Structure 1
Amino acid sequence: MSLNAISSRVENDRVLVLERTFDAPRDLVFKMFKDAEHLKHWWGPSGWELPVCHIDFRPGGIWHYCMKCMDQNQGEFYGMESWGKAVYKDIIEPETIIYTDYFSDAEGNVDENLPSTEVTLEFIDLDGKTKLVNRAQYVSAEALKTVTDMGMLQGITETWNRLEEHLNAIK
């Protein structure tokens, strides 16, 4: 597997597992997920920015953010905002981050019409490189299909490409 390839598989019809190896130390890759100043550089698909990023990185803490499409070439998506809210359940630095991910509005109210995700991020040290394993568990196969149909896999691929670019720029 090349460094920038994502491998994906589905377990039990409702768990999407994504893996990718980054050519950066585990502590640095972990830091990218806990610091708003870093997240603003890479979170979201290509052409999207993070104009709002409030993060309280601790168990019970909340990360509330807005992704906004700034790329005019994306047609109907240009100017669109997508709000998200994560509630951290457990953090073991620099190994694991567990949180529930929700679609929300600008006030942080959860959108009950869209599926939430139980996310476990695992950061595995590979002698100076880091294997990132993202386990996203949904309430049902239908919920997983809903986010897949929304283009989530392409979005994560582009997001992790941007993470790799940011890591290369700062290391």
Structure 2
Amino acid sequence: MLNNGMASSVENEKVLVLERVFDAPRELVFSMFKEAEHLQHWWGPRGWAIPVCNVDFRPGGVWHYCMKCEDKNQGDFYGMESWGKGVYKEIVEPERIVYIDYFSDAEGNTDENLPTTEVTMLFIDLGGKTKIVNRSEYVSAEALQTVMDMGMLQGITETWDRLAERLNEVK
């Protein structure tokens, strides 16, 4: 499926693969994922802000953040907070980031009731442009379906649109 330049597919019923080309050099695109000051400008769907974003960008380091809905037009979501936590497993600058993605609370405790994901992001140099290949592996097809039912695909599409806009602002 292609959505705003983003291709998505499912492998083995439990791996969601997303691909998109960004019109910016690989080093710049990679930096958008490692620096809190960048992440706060684009991470999350439209209408959501990142009031908390702590990044310890190293293997074993933790990225802990809060997304908060600031758009009154989003009805029941307005004012809602969604906390997340990533634990970095592998970082190869500017080629690859591997991390475990969790739903969490404000203290960073993981929510065992929601799916955990192993995310592998590849940053492929296309000579001034960068292709991101994002592989999110869930423990089961049911876990993947849970996040799909939560609207994750629309959320990531809007997030990557915001990333493209941020790249245009800073390049």
TM range (shorter): over 0.9
Tell me the residue number matched to 2:39: 39
Provide the C-alpha distance between the structure 1 equivalents of 2:170 and 2:56, rounded to a whole number of angstroms. Answer: 23
**Cα shift at 1:110:** 0.2
Provide the C-alpha distance between the structure 2 equivalents of 1:153 and 1:4, rounded to a whole number of angstroms. Answer: 12
Tell me the residue number matched to 2:20: 20
Provide the C-alpha distance between the structure 2 equivalents of 1:75 and 1:162, rounded to a whole number of angstroms. Answer: 21
**Cα shift at 1:3:** 10
C-alpha deviations, 1:50-105, integer Å up to 9, x for none?
00000000000000000000000000000000000000000000000000000000
Task: Say whether the 8 Å CA contact 1:48–1:71 is kept in structure 2.
Answer: yes
SS at match of 1:38: helix
Return 5+ residue gaps in structure 2 as ranges.
none
SS at match of 2:91: strand
Provide the C-alpha distance between the structure 1 equivalents of 2:3 and 2:50, rounded to a whole number of angstroms. Answer: 25
**Counterpart amino acid of 2:122?**
E
SS at match of 1:29: helix
Provide the C-alpha distance between the structure 2 equivalents of 1:71 and 1:134, rounded to a whole number of angstroms. Answer: 28
Tell me the residue number matched to 1:169: 169
**Cα shift at 1:4:** 4.3
Tell me the residue number matched to 2:9: 9
Provide the C-alpha distance between the structure 2 equivalents of 1:61 and 1:136, rounded to a whole number of angstroms. Answer: 19
Structure 1 runs, 4 residues or longer, greater than 6 Å off = none
Tell me the residue number matched to 1:50: 50
> Quick one: structure 1 residues 3 and 123, their matched pair in 2 at CA, closer, same or farther if it must change by over 3 Å?
farther
**Counterpart amino acid of 2:80?**
M
C-alpha deviations, 1:85-135, integer Å up to 9, x for none?
000000000000000000000000000000000000000000100000000
Alignment of 1:29-108 (within 5 A): 29-108=29-108
C-alpha deviations, 1:18-37, integer Å up to 9, x for none?
00000000000000000000
Task: Say whether the 8 Å CA contact 1:42–1:159 is kept in structure 2.
Answer: yes
User: In percent, how many aligned pairs have the same letter?
Assistant: 75
SS at match of 2:120: strand
**Counterpart amino acid of 2:39?**
L
Return 5+ residue gaps in structure 1 as ranges.
none
**Counterpart amino acid of 1:66?**
C
**Cα shift at 1:5:** 1.0
SS at match of 1:54: strand
Task: Say whether the 8 Å CA contact 2:4–2:157 is kept in structure 1.
Answer: no
Kindly report the root-mean-square deviation, in angstroms, between the aligned alpha carbons of the 2 structures: 1.4
Q: Aligned residues, how many?
A: 171
Query: Structure 1 length normalisation: TM-score?
Result: 0.98
